[in-house]
Structure 1
Amino acid sequence: MSVLKIKDVSKIFPNATRAVDSFSLEVADGELVCLLGPSGSGKSTLLRMVGGFETPSAGLMTIDGEDITRVPPERRPTGMVFQSHALWTHMNVFKNLAFGLKLRKVAPAEIKRRVEAVLELVGLGGYGNRHVTQLSGGQQQRVALARSLVLEPKILLLDEPFASLDQHLRERLREEVRDIQQRVGITTLFVTHGQDEALSMADRIVVMRDGKTEQIDRPDVVYREPRTPFVAGFIGTMNLLEGDVRNGMFSRGAYATPLPVSDGPAILAIRPEALDLSSAAGEGHGKVHRVTDFGTHGLVDLALGDGSRVKAMVDHPDMFRAGQAVTLSPRAIAAYRDGTLIHRTAAAGAATTVQQALVDA
């Protein structure tokens, strides 16, 4: 059993920058948790503190109840995979993997057994004598993963390991890494700024902003039930309309929809897949600006009367054309005020998957 606990951890750099602010998280045994956020949100700094490459300014970190807050990296039961692979190019694959085991004075026969076993695990059986310069980017990343796993760490740390790879290779590798993580059952903390990676790989997602937690939930909950306007706008494509509520009606320019909350300003959030369009005889709520056909669905870019833009996902993009007047009918909405969720209406029987909705994200 390997459980990582982070309690009220902060990191303040010498220039007074507060990179992480009183952050707490518990990662369960065998769980894969993703730290997701924009650049500067503190996710990589937090991961480096768990790995021992940065020292917290305050707080406590434990693995299976043992305090590791100020334990040096080489003495922690963690394995870290970096974005840049960080492989030794003057060594072949076998020596790259065996190096850490030799430092731990593992017997040569055991080194050979563990290296060969982990190469099979990552799909590189028989590659031990290859020099890393002879490998593709994807193969090098698998070697980097194998180098961490061969040390049999309790906690695996992944710092944007696919960022330097092309899209198709990223998609294939993230599936492979998730499969390996589940087979091994290793507790994993994963950093990315890619929404698709977080949604497809994680058991839970931690959305970070300015060193703090915005939301911690399962991927489907983060996507469908964002708690703050930031999460709503950061995960996937979201239409965010600022307007006013009067007598139970939200209005923004010519667009209005019922919203059963008290009077005052509000931000209305509508996913493109939850926004129905219909042709309008008059001016409608807005006009079609552009239609993009993705084959499986279409994305209609709309310009409302006040100049604001929204997107709608449609099954038949051929039914819409630039300049066409349309009316909007949301099937699911969320509303926020002062950064807090004040109302949510879920769509019944929505068929669009999260991955389909991310195509244009």
Structure 2
Amino acid sequence: MARLTIDNLRKAFAGTVAVDDFSLDVADGELVCLLGPSGSGKSTVLRMIGGFEQPSSGAIRIDGQDVTRLSPERRPTGMVFQSHALWSHMNVFNNIAFGLKLRRLSRAEIRDKVEHALELVGLAGYGTRQTFQLSGGQQQRVALARSLVLEPKILLLDEPFASLDQHLRERLREEVRDIQQRLGITTLFVTHGQDEALAMADRIVVLRNGQCEQADAPDVVYRNPQTQFVAGFIGQMNFISASVEGGRFLHPDFMLPVNVPDGPAVLAVRPEALDLASAQADQGAIVLRSTDFGSHIMVDLQLRDGTRLKAMTAPDQRWQKRASVHLNVGQFALYRDNHLLTIGQPVGGSEQAPEVEPALSV
């Protein structure tokens, strides 16, 4: 196991800043997911850790040793790429053994280590096969084995499942997580898939424009997003824009008591925090459609000002198109200029907006 320390990392390409003042400590055996949209800098951070990109400034240390200027082969890291990067002219055994041969190990040592790596990734007996005879998932297992056989201190995974179908992606991420926990290897995993991050990570680091927006455990990032960007990027989120005056969030359809300073604000509510109740015609929100996902019903709604929302309800509930409903809000967050103002549950309920019928009971 190993500890990774990143201090004030910065990378610019021809004047364009890809990573800006990024710092992170990764504990022994921890799996950290770098999550963000395309262009957020997550893969650039990973490539700098692996030595495939040189930082413009900052430092990278593994177990206290500065590896910032070391070449990839001199770093105690192993990297698995999205494209597998297997050699098609070599069979599976030789693909995995390549790095060991460069280290001039004996044939017996190489054979034992390769067979162990194949067994570890569930490909025992596949050594003589050609890589083009393997499925995409099997090729990715070979790429993982090729990294693990070198016994790196830090494992780096750059969107390794992006080219695979959903069911295979889900199965492989469970297998990789099991292997990582069994070996206790410190791992950084780059993805733009929030489901992968929530399912695999001990900690999620959300990046935006080369900077860290939030770094926390998955449940904290989901339930307590510290910026509006994180709230919208992790899971589904409803946003309602209005203003706060005198301790109340004032929307044309409802009032919500909040203890924040006056000014414009954005209310954020997850679909599962919205309960629906039937309302009289022309009151509350309008049902646009409902979709049955088996485990739940997702209801698409529209407020009278045109704001679109989603609510998650029990699978035995049915909602007619164009029906009017009241929304009962559970946990919510309030943001201003991307910064968190408060997270909480409504206290005392909502109040009727002046000169309009109440549209939301909170």
Is TM more than 0.5 here? Answer: yes
After TM superposition, give the deviation of residue 260 of structure 1 in Å.
2.4
Change (3 A) 1:331 1:117: same
Equivalent-residue separation in structure 2 for 1:247 and 1:54 (angstroms): 52
Amino acid at match of 2:51: G
Equivalent-residue separation in structure 2 for 1:141 and 1:346 (angstroms): 45
Q: Tell whether the 8 Å contact from 1:283 to 1:326 is kept in structure 2 after alignment.
A: no
Where do 5+ consecutive residues of structure 1 fail to align?
Answer: 348-361
Superposed CA deviations along residues 154-187 of structure 1, whole A, max 9, x for unmatched, are: 0000000000000000000000000000011100
**Percent pairwise identity:** 66
After TM superposition, give the deviation of residue 316 of structure 1 in Å.
4.1
* Aligned counterpart, 1:270: 269
Residue 343 of structure 2 is aligned to residue 344 of structure 1: yes
Where do 5+ consecutive residues of structure 2 fail to align?
Answer: 347-362
After TM superposition, give the deviation of residue 80 of structure 1 in Å.
0.2
* Aligned counterpart, 1:240: 239
Equivalent-residue separation in structure 1 for 2:328 and 2:317 (angstroms): 19
Residue 107 of structure 2 is aligned to residue 108 of structure 1: yes
* Aligned counterpart, 1:130: 129
After TM superposition, give the deviation of residue 88 of structure 1 in Å.
0.3
* Aligned counterpart, 1:197: 196
Amino acid at match of 1:2: A
* Aligned counterpart, 1:83: 82
Superposed CA deviations along residues 222-276 of structure 1, whole A, max 9, x for unmatched, are: 0000000000000000001111112222133323322222221111010000011
Amino acid at match of 1:44: S
Aligned length: 347
Q: Tell whether the 8 Å contact from 2:281 to 2:323 is kept in structure 1 after alignment.
A: no
Amino acid at match of 1:221: V
After TM superposition, give the deviation of residue 153 of structure 1 in Å.
0.5
Equivalent-residue separation in structure 1 for 2:291 and 2:185 (angstroms): 42
Equivalent-residue separation in structure 1 for 2:275 and 2:155 (angstroms): 43
Counterpart secondary structure, 2:118: helix
Q: TM-score, normalised by structure 1?
A: 0.94
Amino acid at match of 2:92: V
Q: TM-score, normalised by structure 2?
A: 0.94
After TM superposition, give the deviation of residue 317 of structure 1 in Å.
5.8
* Aligned counterpart, 1:8: 8
Superposed CA deviations along residues 90-132 of structure 1, whole A, max 9, x for unmatched, are: 1100000111100111111100000000100000000000111
Q: Tell whether the 8 Å contact from 2:286 to 2:323 is kept in structure 1 after alignment.
A: yes
Equivalent-residue separation in structure 1 for 2:325 and 2:344 (angstroms): 23
* Aligned counterpart, 1:322: 321
